[in-house]
Chains A and B, each alone.
Chain A
Amino acid sequence: MPDPAPSAALRPVEALGDWTISIIASLGRFLTFFLRALGSLVTPPFKFNVFVDRVDYIGFRSLLIILLTGAFTGMVLGLQIFLTLSRFGSEAFLGPAVALSLIRELGPVLAALMITGRAGSALTAELGIMRITEQIDALEVMALSPFRYLVVPSILAGLVTFPLMTALFDVIGILGGYLVGVKLLGLSAGTYFGEMQTFVDMRDIMTGFWKSVLFGVVVTWVATYKGFHVGHGAEGVARATTQAVVLASVLILMWDYFLGSVLP
């Protein structure tokens, strides 16, 4: 045995080094993956029919969950904010308070988290199964780029559907707040919507919009990346799916904070 003492002492350092290298290597792969997708986006042909299919998969099929969570989020906000504001006697500001929380923060974040859970996980699992059953290899040997057929349409669909789903979430949420604040707690409809119009401006809407666009790209990017790089067998697919959901959710919250502090 060649002197074990120094190597034993260095083992934690070595492990830390290995860990750092592997983190940087996977970050590199993650970035390269996106650049390759960009590369096949700017070179024709564009697979429009696959894109439409993905919009259906990511967007349309998430409609129900968006409607449900949006309505309840708005109702919870309506109730809680009303109770808080009534302590100061300023219930009149319920409308703008609900709308601003939804438009700037909760709409983009919650809609993105919901779509991650519903469509992001399914996307990773689908691509993962295609990987382990060699369907992705088959595309490649047919000289048909898997990026063009699988990755680009999904990321673009995320880019398009997330803002739409977020807008829907916001609208339904505002109506949920209306239901509780106006119909249940007796605020006047004119106050609810009137104050909203006064206090919510285009900047708020654009903040929410840019957030949702970015989340759309991040979620589909993570989901397709994890699906492409699954380990072996059913367990590998299961693990990749979990990792995709966790990573996408963490990134959504991190970016939300970051964007919230740089966007006006």
Chain B
Amino acid sequence: MIKVEKLVKSFHGQPVLRGVDLEVPQGSITIIIGRSGGGKSVFLKHLIGLLRPDSGRVVIDGTDVTHLEGGELDRIRQRYGVVFQGGALFDSQTCGENVAFPLREKTRLSGREVAQRVEASLAQVGLEGVGRKYPAEISGGMRKRVAIALALVTEPQIVFFDEPTTGLDPILVNSIHHLIRDLHRRHGFTAIMVSHEIPEIFEIADTVAMLHEGRIVEHGPPDAIQRSANPVVQQFIRGEPEGH
């Protein structure tokens, strides 16, 4: 279980997170929604230890990871898979080498086993045969899918997705969502996902949390969110312009 308590962060005196509280039960899919620029990526980066909060803490399975460093932090990170908002593929390596990278560096699998798992992982996201291409040679949507294959290839226990489907066509959005749900059923990982795909996310989320002005203003199962009486939430999920 991931537990976030009163997380506060500002950049150059500009508050971004003003006290975020959130609990993510083990094995669930939690989706975070909120305005662009509202601090969702910043929040995720606190969970994976890339940013340190001004105050507050992050507890994972009973361990306070907020101030872990070095080997201890690495041990927690072994269990993570992360899909960055921009994909963050190594552009000096082919897509196949990218996906193979954590396996080569972190496991003792033989070359053939690595190749098999890479191919299977790419096939899962519908990208058979792109292994030889460089990230710069494929479309933005394909890069996102390679990033997903890369994040999942090590079979992590906790997966963080930062907008894995933004910029994909509706068919791909659905197929990625199905993929995440299928993999989730099979591997039972805990997933925290930032997404703007409303209403599609209501089909795969166990919990939806809305981040607004640095706090979680609403948090619950999808149907509760959809019926929420909070005007901010209603406005957001209906996509109404501000002031209505």
- Give the residues in chain A near B101, CB-CB below 8 Å: 142
Stretch at the interface among A67-75, A112-120, A130-138: A130-138
- How many B residues face the partner with a CB closer than 8 A? 22
Within 8 A of A (CB), among B74-131: 74-75, 77-78, 80, 82, 84-86, 88-91, 101-102, 105-106
Give the one of A130, A134, A137, A141 with max B CB within 10 A: A141
Count of A-B residue pairs with CB < 8 Å: 43
- Give the residues in chain B near A130, CB-CB below 8 Å: 90
Give the one of A133, A134, A144 with max B CB within 10 A: A134
A134-B86, A135-B88 given as contacts; is B102 within 8 A of A142 (CB)?
Answer: yes
Give Cα distance in the complex from A137 to B50, angstroms. 7
Give Cα distance in the complex from A134 to B135, angstroms. 14
Residue of A nearest to B76 (CB): A143
- Give the residues in chain B near A143, CB-CB below 8 Å: 73-75, 77-78, 106
Q: How far is the CB of A217 from chain B (nearest CB, A)?
A: 24
- Give the residues in chain B near A144, CB-CB below 8 Å: 102, 105-106
Partner of A134, one of B78, B80, B84, B105: B84
Contact of B48 with A by CB under 8 A: yes
- Give the residues in chain A near B48, CB-CB below 8 Å: 141
Q: Once the chains bind, are A137 and B77 in contact (CB under 8 Å)? A: no
Give Cα distance in the complex from A135 to B75, angstroms. 20
- Give the residues in chain B near A18, CB-CB below 8 Å: none
Give Cα distance in the complex from A134 to B49, angstroms. 14
Q: Once the chains bind, are A142 and B106 in contact (CB under 8 Å)? A: yes
- Give the residues in chain B near A14, CB-CB below 8 Å: none
- Give the residues in chain A near B75, CB-CB below 8 Å: 143
Contact of A140 with B by CB under 8 A: yes
Please tell me the size bucket of the interface on A.
Answer: 10 to 19
- Give the residues in chain B near A141, CB-CB below 8 Å: 48-50, 77, 80, 82
Q: How far is the CB of B82 from chain A (nearest CB, A)?
A: 5
- Give the residues in chain A near B74, CB-CB below 8 Å: 143
Q: Once the chains bind, are B77 and A138 in contact (CB under 8 Å)? A: no
Give Cα distance in the complex from A18 to B35, angstroms. 36
Q: Once the chains bind, are B78 and A138 in contact (CB under 8 Å)? A: no
Give Cα distance in the complex from A137 to B80, angstroms. 13
Q: How far is the CB of B161 from chain A (nearest CB, A)?
A: 13
- Give the residues in chain B near A135, CB-CB below 8 Å: 88-91
Within 8 A of B (CB), among A120-157: 130, 133-135, 137-138, 140-144
Residue of A nearest to B92 (CB): A126
Within 8 A of A (CB), among B113-172: none
Give Cα distance in the complex from A144 to B45, angstroms. 17
Residue of A nearest to B51 (CB): A137
- Give the residues in chain A near B77, CB-CB below 8 Å: 140-143
- Give the residues in chain B near A138, CB-CB below 8 Å: 82, 84, 88-90
Q: Once the chains bind, are A142 and B84 in contact (CB under 8 Å)? A: no
Give Cα distance in the complex from A134 to B85, angstroms. 9
- Give the residues in chain B near A142, CB-CB below 8 Å: 77, 101-102, 105-106
Give Cα distance in the complex from A142 to B105, angstroms. 10
- Give the residues in chain A near B84, CB-CB below 8 Å: 134, 137-138
Q: Once the chains bind, are A137 and B88 in contact (CB under 8 Å)? A: yes
- Give the residues in chain A near B78, CB-CB below 8 Å: 143
Give the one of A130, A135, A140, A142 with max B CB within 10 A: A142
Within 8 A of A (CB), among B51-84: 73-75, 77-78, 80, 82, 84
A142-B77, A143-B74, A143-B77 given as contacts; is B106 within 8 A of A134 (CB)?
Answer: no
Residue of A nearest to B85 (CB): A134
Q: How far is the CB of B91 from chain A (nearest CB, A)?
A: 7
Residue of A nearest to B73 (CB): A143
Q: How far is the CB of B109 from chain A (nearest CB, A)?
A: 15
The contact string, 1 if C-beta is below 8 Å from chain B, for chain A 21-35, is: 000000000000000
Q: Once the chains bind, are B86 and A133 in contact (CB under 8 Å)? A: yes
Give Cα distance in the complex from A134 to B86, angstroms. 8
Q: How far is the CB of A9 from chain B (nearest CB, A)?
A: 25
Rank and list the top 5 A-B pairs by shortest CB-CB distance, nearest first.
A143-B74, A134-B88, A138-B88, A143-B77, A134-B84
- Could you jot down 8 A-B contacts, CB within 8 Å? A133-B86, A134-B88, A135-B88, A137-B84, A138-B90, A142-B101, A142-B102, A143-B77
Knowing that A141-B49, A143-B74, A144-B106 are A-B contacts, what are 20 other residue pairs whose CB atoms are under 8 Å apart, sorted by A's residue number? A130-B90, A133-B88, A134-B85, A134-B88, A135-B88, A135-B90, A135-B91, A137-B45, A137-B88, A140-B77, A141-B48, A141-B80, A141-B82, A142-B77, A142-B101, A142-B102, A142-B106, A143-B73, A143-B75, A143-B78
Residues of B within 8 A of A (CB): 45, 48-50, 73-75, 77-78, 80, 82, 84-86, 88-91, 101-102, 105-106
